[in-house]
């Protein structure tokens, strides 16, 4: 009987229990974690896996790239793709720190709210993303790829513009960087913004009501923070394209539980997709976004 094998490659010490649960529920029989894996180790590990089974069984093996560093994950993903030899291939799915599936879910829900409620799309809109971590960077790239004028808003003095821009360059997109350390800078960052996405650390209020009230044309505000207080004033935990009043009118609110619901379905769905694909699946965050869009548009 064929056994479904999942190998988790992690640059750090700890493997995410969330990822293990998702993989188990998706039907993997054996889940094996390898910590301290660096990009230069990936080729040998992938080739060990591909040659252990005949080519037609590519669905039965998946290399999952975890960790917390999107830069390392991108390098590991590229090395995994290059390690395939002719018909000997396996599925590769990257989702470091859940950033790929979370960013995919956030933007898919934003797109749906824009389409259903505001009869528009991201193309040509201005999007401000508050938070420069893995989810923020991936969300910014996806928004830019959809044709949005995209701003990444740095919230602390430690946020590194050069690191962020280097990751954006990898995907050949143009993204602006603005400072949003103070309330005044946040108001400036919100100038002429249509969509706001808050993706900073949990338990931190990023945008107060007075800052949101400084904008006159808000369409959507999404917040990933599930730990009180909310990241954006007025956005509820379970909001799903909910009407939220502010000084400039009404915007569509998208809350963390709605985002988390799609994120979980996206991750488990992609684990299943690797097992069912007609060819060896290669899943980066743009592929995760396409999958999340298919879920929210059903």
pLDDT computed for residue 233 by the predictor: 95
Contact 148, 273 (CB under 8 A): no
CATH number belonging to the domain at 5-98+263-296, selected among 3.40.50.2000, 3.40.50.10280, 2.60.40.1760, 3.20.20.70: 3.40.50.10280
Where b means 16+ CB within 10 Å and e means fewer, 89-105 reads bbbbbbbbbbbbbbbbb
CB atoms within 10 A of CB 157: 7
φ, ψ dihedrals at 195, nearest 5°: -130, 135
pLDDT computed for residue 253 by the predictor: 98
Alpha-carbon distance of 61 to 79, in angstroms, equals 17
Alpha-carbon distance of 123 to 111, in angstroms, equals 10
pLDDT computed for residue 59 by the predictor: 95
- For residue 127, what is the enclosing H or E element? strand 126-130
What residue ranges of the chain have pLDDT lower than 50? none
Q: In degrees, to the nearest 5, what angle opens at C-alpha 156 toward C-alphas 153 and 158? A: 110
Topology match between the domains 5-98+263-296 and 102-258: yes
Rama region for 234: left / alpha / beta (φ>0; ψ in -120 to 50; rest): left
Alpha-carbon distance of 297 to 19, in angstroms, equals 25
In this structure, CATH architecture of domain 102-258:
3-Layer(aba) Sandwich (3.40)
pLDDT computed for residue 298 by the predictor: 85
pLDDT computed for residue 1 by the predictor: 64
**pTM score:** 0.95
Contact 104, 291 (CB under 8 A): yes
- For residue 77, what is the enclosing H or E element? helix 70-82
pLDDT computed for residue 2 by the predictor: 81
Q: Where are the domains of the chain?
A: 5-98+263-296, 102-258
């Amino acid at each position: 009987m064929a056994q479904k094998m999942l190998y988790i490659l992690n640059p750090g010490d700890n493997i995410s229990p969330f990822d293990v649960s998702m993989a188990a529920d998706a039907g993997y029989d054996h889940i094996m974690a390898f910590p301290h894996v660096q990009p230069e180790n990936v080729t040998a590990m992938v080739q060990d896996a591909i040659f252990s089974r005949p080519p037609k069984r590519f669905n039965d093996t998946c290399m999952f790239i975890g960790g917390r560093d999107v830069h390392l994950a991108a390098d590991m993903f590229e090395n995994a793709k290059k390690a395939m030899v002719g018909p000997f291939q396996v599925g590769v799915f990257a989702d470091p720190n859940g950033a790929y599936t979370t960013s995919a879910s956030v933007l898919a829900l934003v797109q749906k709210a824009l389409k259903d409620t505001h009869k528009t799309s991201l193309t040509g809109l201005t999007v401000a993303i508050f938070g420069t971590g893995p989810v923020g960077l991936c969300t910014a790239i996806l928004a830019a790829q959809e044709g949005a004028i995209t701003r990444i808003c740095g919230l602390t003095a430690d946020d590194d513009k050069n690191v962020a821009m280097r990751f954006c360059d990898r995907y050949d997109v143009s993204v602006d960087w603005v400072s949003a350390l103070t309330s005044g800078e946040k108001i400036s960052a919100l100038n002429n913004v249509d969509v706001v996405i808050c993706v900073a650390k949990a338990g931190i209020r990023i945008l107060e009501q007075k800052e949101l009230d400084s904008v006159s044309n808000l369409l959507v505000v999404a917040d990933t923070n599930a730990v009180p207080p909310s990241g954006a004033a007025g956005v509820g935990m379970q909001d799903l394209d909910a009407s939220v009043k502010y000084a400039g009118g009404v915007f569509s609110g998208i809350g963390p539980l709605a985002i988390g619901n799609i994120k979980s379905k996206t991750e488990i769905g992609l684990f299943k997709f690797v097992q069912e694909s007609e060819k060896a699946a290669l899943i980066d965050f743009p592929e995760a976004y396409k999958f999340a869009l298919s879920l929210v548009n059903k």
